[in-house]
Amino acid sequence: MKYRKLYVFAILILSLSCSKNDDSNDGNNPKPFYKGMDLSFQSELEDYNIDYKDANGNSIELLDFVKSKGTNLVRLKLWHTPQDGQNSLNDVKTYAQKIKAKGMSFLLNFHYSDYWADPSTQTPPAAWQNMTSEQIKIAIYNYTKDVVQQLKAQNTLPDIIQIGNETDSGFLWNHGRVWDNFNNNWNNYTDLVSEAIRAVRDVDTDNNIRVMLHHSNVENAIFFFNELQPYNIDFDIIGLSYYPQFHTKNLSLFTSKLNELANTFNKDILMVEVAYPFTLQWNDNQTNLIGSLDQTLVEFSPTPQGQRAYLEWLTETVQNIPNNHGIGFCYWAPDWVAFNGNSATSTNGSSWENQCLFDFELKALPAIETFNNN
C-alpha cells in the first residue's frame, strides 16, 4: 500500500507538470498578442519637440500615450555605421531603456547595413565591404554578439531579435544573396543567418529571446521558408510585411497564404510591418508613398474610419491564424509626421504623414483605439 501511494503521488506530480507545460499556449497562460509600433524615428523626432496630441487636442508624451492605448511592443531598427547618424547603437540603447522602463516588449531589427535594407538593396556595412565570405561570417557573429551583450549589460535585452530586414533576396550581398544569379546560394545565406543566431543564443543563456526571420511578401513567403527547411535554422518567428500598395489586394488570398504558412511551418507569425492611409492628401511638399485610390483596398476607404477598419480586420485575421500561431502586428512609423529635420529632404517633409496614426494637426486618429482591443 505504501508503494502504491508513492506511485499514485508520482503520477499525480508528473501529470500536473505536463499539464503546466501543455497549458503554456492555452487560455490560462496564453502567448502575448503583440500590438506593436515601429518607433525608430523617435530618436530623431524627439529632438524637434513635436507636439503630438490625443484625440481631444491635449499634448501627450508619445510613449506614455501609446502604452495607455494598448501598445505593448516597440520595434527599433539598427544600422551598423549610419550614413545619416540615425538608428545607431547608441540611439537604440537609449530608446530601449525607455521602452523597458514602461514595461513594454522590445523588438530589435538588425539591418546589417549602414542604411535601409530591403529586397532590392542589401548593402553590407562599409566596414565589411572588402571581406571574404569567411571573414563576413566572423564579423556578423562578433557584431551581433557585441550588440546583444551591450543591451544585456544595461538590462534591456530584446524580447525578439530580427535577423535582417525583408530578406527575401538574402542579405549582405553578394555573400548572402539568393536572387537572380545567386539562386543556388542558400547555403551561404543560411550560414550567415546561423552565425548571427548563434551569437544571440551565446549571450542569451536563459533563452528568453525569440529570433525572427523577415520576409516582405505574404504571397511569396512559402517559397522562401521552404528553401530554408533543409538547413534547420534555429528561429522562432516568421515576420511579414503587408503594404497594399505593394502587395496583393485580394484579402482572401492574403488570409489563405497566412494560414498556409502557419500550417506548413508550425511557426508563430508576426505581421511586423503594416500601415494604411487615413487620407490621400498631404501635409508638406514631399511626394507620399500612397497618393491615389488605386493603391488602397476597396474594402477600406483612405479615411480615419477606413484606417481603423483596416487595422481591426488585420488584427482579427492574425488572431484567427491556425493553432494560435498569429502573435500580433507592428504598425510601421505611426509617428513619422511632416517635420523639419535630418530625415526630411530639401523640401522638409515626410513621405509617410498620411499613413501615420496622427492627423495633420498631430491629433491621435481613431485607429489607435484598435490597440486597446482584445
Strands 268-274 and 237-242 turn out to be parallel
Q: How many Å apart are CA 238 and CA 304, to the nearest integer?
A: 30
Query: Hunting for cell 513635436 — which residue is that?
Result: 50
Nearest to 37 by CA among 370, 374, 354: 370
- Asked if residues 57 and 363 have their Cβ atoms less than 8 Å apart, the reply is yes
- Asked if residues 213 and 167 have their Cβ atoms less than 8 Å apart, the reply is yes
Q: How many Å apart are CA 199 and CA 143, to the nearest integer?
A: 9
Question: Among the options 46, 61, 134, 166, which is catalytic?
Answer: 166
Angle at 162 between CA 156 and CA 168, to 5 degrees: 165
61 given a catalytic annotation: no
Question: Among the options 44, 195, 273, 353, which is catalytic?
Answer: 273
- The packing angle between helices 186-203 and 221-228, to 10°, is 80
Q: At 268, which amino acid appears?
A: D
Q: How many Å apart are CA 332 and CA 40, to the nearest integer?
A: 9
Phi, psi of 22 (to 5 degrees): -70, -25
Query: Hunting for cell 521558408 — which residue is that?
Result: 225
Cell readout for 182 is: 545567386
Q: How many Å apart are CA 313 and CA 287, to the nearest integer?
A: 28
Strands 326-332 and 34-38 turn out to be parallel
134 given a catalytic annotation: no
Point out the residues that are catalytic: 166, 273
